[in-house]
Amino acid sequence: MEKLIITAAICGAEVTKEQNPAVPYTVEEIVREAKSAVDAGAAIVHIHVREDDGTPTQSKARFKECIDAILKVCPDVILIPSTGGAVGMTAEERLQPTELDPEMATLDCGTCNFGDDVFENTMPMMRDFGKRMMERGIKPEYECFEMGHLDTVLNMARKGQVPGAPMQFNFVLGVPGCTTATVPNLCWLVNAIPAGSTWTVTGVGRNAFPMAAAAIAMGGNVRVGFEDNLYLSKGVLAKSNGELVEKVVRIARELGREIATPAEAREILGLAPRR
């Protein structure tokens, strides 16, 4: 079984310091949380950025500031900036981080309910995002919140509208209004991806570690972090993203999976070695 790639989604766009004081807003706080996750075993850091007051932003300048600062202290880490941004942002806003030519970025695979809101990803938007990533040589991580999202993006890949093989999928399960976080649902999704693909699971809220354990046992990869879950265990707030990563590392070791370094993760994902 391949080594386990752990992704840390360190702040997201929705969670706040009122929910957990360790949620990072400032550049310095984002660097602190990225380093805590990498030191604990994360090979990938998934990035949203905030203004200093916590307001989510897709500003190219803010992304550059955060990316440059993270790479100063974690020079080998794989960074995956979000093109999802926050609910209500325009496609033009959301695409700004791709202008920095990251090696990877997220590509959301369809519109869905997102709690009380609607997260809009129309077909024209997805084609535009796919075209941008093909033009700039960016490998997408395909974010699937619903069963139909996977069918949609596979059909788009067959038509050459988004980058094709080898594909990396992130199955985000347990968002209120979307596909529930169960092992049968995860198995359905994994069994439907093309041969040679790689995949990660994100369990939202209380689903974080049950989904992590399932993915570890199935040979997949795991995402954890404050974006998805603020708690280390029931009623116990995590003090850092690093604590969440450390828990995944402990589960993996109990189940016999070794942890991938950033260099090993690059090889597994088909990325060029860091120069």
Q: What is the pLDDT of residue 131?
A: 98
Q: Does residue 61 form part of some domain?
A: yes
Query: Residue 1's CB: how many other CB atoms inside 10 A?
Result: 12
Q: How many domains does the chain have?
A: 1
Kindly state the tokens that stand for 194.
């093309």
Query: Residue 179's CB: how many other CB atoms inside 10 A?
Result: 22
Q: Does residue 82 form part of some domain?
A: yes
Q: Does residue 18 form part of some domain?
A: yes
Q: What is the pLDDT of residue 115?
A: 87
In the three-class reduction of DSSP (H, G, I as helix; E, B as strand; rest coil), residue 170 is classed as strand
Q: Of all helices (H) and strands (E), which one includes residue 125?
A: helix 123-136
Report the candidate in 163, 217, 225, 158 with the shortest Cα–Cα distance to residue 186. Answer: 217
For 115-164, the pLDDT digits (tens) are 899 999 999 999 999 999 999 999 999 999 999 999 999 999 999 999 99
Which residues are bridge partners to 138 per DSSP? Answer: none
Whether the bond between 102 and the residue before it is cis, its omega within 30 degrees of 0, is no
For 174-219, the pLDDT digits (tens) are 999 999 999 999 999 999 999 999 999 999 999 999 999 999 999 9
What domain range is 153 assigned to?
6-269
What is the pTM (predicted TM-score) of this model? Answer: 0.97
Q: Does residue 275 form part of some domain?
A: no
Contacts of 129 (CB under 8 A, 6+ apart): 83, 91, 95, 107, 108, 140, 162
Question: What is the mean predicted confidence (pLDDT) over 42-68?
Answer: 98
CA distances from 244 to 7, 10, 120, 209 (A): 11, 10, 29, 9
| Of residues 40 and 1, more confidently modeled | 40
**What CATH number does the domain containing 84 carry?**
3.20.20.70
Could you tell me the pLDDT band of residue 229, with boundaries at 50, 70 and 90?
very high
Q: Does residue 274 form part of some domain?
A: no
| Rounded Cα distance, 163 and 5, in Å | 21
Q: Does residue 220 form part of some domain?
A: yes
Percent of the chain with pLDDT over 70: 100
Could you tell me the pLDDT band of residue 257, with boundaries at 50, 70 and 90?
very high
For 56-114, the pLDDT digits (tens) are 999 999 999 999 999 999 999 999 999 999 999 999 999 999 999 999 999 999 999 99
Q: Does residue 64 form part of some domain?
A: yes
Rounded to 5 degrees, φ, ψ at 140 are -80, 150
